[in-house]
Amino acid sequence: MPPIINAQGMSKAFGASPLFQNLSFTISEQDRIGLIGPNGSGKSTLLRILAGEIEPDSGEVAVRKRVRLTYVEQDSQFHAGDTVRSVVERALERSAVPAAEQGTRFAETLGRAGFENFDVLAAELSGGWQKRLAIVEALVQGPDILLLDEPTNHLDLPGIEWLEALLVQAAFASVIVSHDRYFLENIATDMVEISRSYPDGLLRIHGTYTAFLEKKEEFLHAQSRRQEALENLVHREIEWLRRGPKARTTKSKARIDRAGELIGELADLNARTRTDTTQIDFSATERKTKRLIELEETAFSIGDRTLFEGLNFILAAGMRVGLVGPNGSGKTTLLRLLRGELTATGGTIRRAEWLRIVYFDQTRALDPDVTLRRALAPDGDSVIYRDRVIHVAGWAARFLFTAEQLNQPVSRLSGGERARVLIAQLMLQPADVLLLDEPTNDLDIPTLEILEESLLEFPGSLVLVTHDRYMLDRVSNIVLGLDGNGAAESFADYSQWEAWQASRERASEAKAAANVPAPPATKPPAPGKKKLSYLEAREYAGMEQRIAEAEQLAQTRQAELEDPAIATDAHRLLSAQAGFEEAHKSLDALYARWAELEEKNG
């Protein structure tokens, strides 16, 4: 069967810079295509071309007759005065759904999406529920193809799981631009990466995201070998040309022409494989204090609603906390409490003296009228980073901005570029604690990987709110979960948090089935009310000494790793690296255990 959409030879440019050239793309029945690529490679533009919103500069897009196509943009927008009901009813009027079936489609789709109040104003919904509404608006029209641009932005983790289940079970085809690697792994039947590093402008692999990574590595390895062989061949041809061949014979002329072709091919290959990466490296202070922030029986309420209560938690040096929970459970509120921007309605919060806290705001508040130059270097034409003066052009280049962009207003930057500006600002502020509220939105996967490495190497403490489960699993060494009904609990990882939620849901369903009214959600027993066992008390008494010894060992292992004498000895270098990683792993485990015993001891 021919594809639903067959786009061939597409090119698109804005200004003098082409986004992509001679790109071909097909969508067939039941394809679920994950679309990735560096920021600025043209992913959103490609979706808009497929949706028919803009035309390519060249090429053809053939769409099968009577195909119903719906498109959900990256930023959800609704008319003033729109309610959930009016948005969906208007979408049904545009659809081909028979009038007799529209009522059923309306109730069924909104119900599955989790909406209960159909008359609430769309503008009053949280970012995550606005995203759900935009997806529902597309679904009720009964599409044959659904185009989604960064659908996981603003969705909480339950929302992402809802979308995953919806796409996997759907009969329609879909193309999804996303940077969420677990999401792509769970839903994609095909992966496409747009990048100038590929001869055809893209690489398409049938299979999961993991399969794509394997095939991509094979392709890049083969391309690297071809590049190396081509360099040797061109070198020989240039040496032959330098000897001054006289192009009198047909054979000599052919070789000269062939040499020119090889040089051109190598130049094209070098241009395609040249990549730039963002340089992210947060600065930490030299603080030695172990307890940075202590929460004791902390509570916060808005009106008659309690977000959380009885929260006991210690943020110790070196802890990397993943903060999770559904939209509206109080994650951002808790970050603002830790920062001191809000005051708790119950309990106490103690901070170490002169504590330096750096905060990444998910709203990405930047003055839209200020130039990129002033946003990156507000006090002049240079910045001071780690006691070094760096010119603003060099600082901008670290974050993949060109000198020509420096005089452009911030309003012209993409979401990913604005995120990079904020990260650049944070890097100039030495911190004991990093508070990061959804830093991953709009970042491409290569930048995400660099951000993860930087957070893993950051010697201070951090609290991370993100819907990116891959980043949560990789970066955090403890997870603090808020259930949205007042309860909070800490876990070793995200999977434990999921298991805890599932067990509570099963218990609630069992009581409902037995016609026993489910009690209101209660928090787990406050750690301060628990008692240490005899063995735990002995362990707790010696914990500070064990941590001090572990810190000394970690410093020793770091000094061994940095010893110039082993720099050229591969065996000793690998051994030192293993020792360094093991020492820090043990230290992280001790801090986590110490925090657990502190909570039990009250």
pLDDT of 282-298, one tens digit each? 666 666 667 899 999 99
What whole-number distance in Å separates Cα of residue 316 and Cα of residue 550?
Answer: 15
What whole-number distance in Å separates Cα of residue 187 and Cα of residue 207?
Answer: 10
β-pair partners for 349: 295
pLDDT of residue 515: 60
What whole-number distance in Å separates Cα of residue 278 and Cα of residue 399?
Answer: 5
Tokens describing residue 160 = 């992402």
- Taking alpha carbons only, the member of 359, 513, 362, 336 closest to residue 425 is 359
CA angle (381, 387, 389) in 5-degree steps: 25
pLDDT over 70 at 269, yes or no? no
Identify the weakest region by mean pLDDT among 201-205, 267-271, 423-427, 463-467.
267-271
pLDDT of residue 522: 45
Note whether 144 and 172 are within 8 A (CB): yes
pLDDT over 90 at 529, yes or no? no
- Taking alpha carbons only, the member of 371, 336, 326, 373 closest to residue 158 is 326
Q: Is the dihedral of CA 288, 588, 481, 184 positive or negative?
A: positive
Tokens describing residue 438 = 């959804």
Rounded to the nearest 5°, which phi and psi values hold at 193? -115, 125
Q: Is 260 helix (H, G, I), strand (E, B) or coil?
A: helix
CATH 3.30.160.70 fits 291-356+430-524, yes or no: no
pLDDT over 60 at 530, yes or no? no
pLDDT of residue 521: 47
Question: Letter for the amino acid at 189?
Answer: T
pLDDT band at residue 354, thresholds of 50, 70 and 90?
confident
pLDDT of residue 526: 40
pLDDT of residue 524: 43
Q: How many helices (H) and strands (E) does the chain have?
A: 18, 20
pLDDT over 80 at 48, yes or no? yes
The CA distances from residue 461 to 41, 280, 320, 434, 464, in Å, are 34, 17, 6, 6, 10
Identify the weakest region by mean pLDDT among 236-240, 317-321, 368-372, 517-521.
517-521
Q: Which residues of 444-464 are buried (b: 16+ CB within 10 A; e: fewer)?
A: bbbbbbbbbebbeebebbbbb
Q: What is the CATH number of domain 5-213?
A: 3.40.50.300
Can you list the alpha helix ranges (DSSP code H) found in 142-208? 157-169, 181-187
Query: Distance between alpha carbon 422 and the CA centroid of its chain, in Å?
Result: 15
What whole-number distance in Å separates Cα of residue 17 and Cα of residue 86?
Answer: 41
Q: Which residues contact 498 (CB under 8 A, 6 or more apart)?
A: none
E-assigned strand segments in 129-236 = 145-149, 173-177, 190-194, 202-206
* Strand order across the 5-14 sheet: 17-27, 5-14, 58-63
| Residue 357: count of CB within 10 angstroms of its CB | 21
The CA distances from residue 131 to 73, 78, 160, 171, 464, in Å, are 9, 11, 11, 21, 22
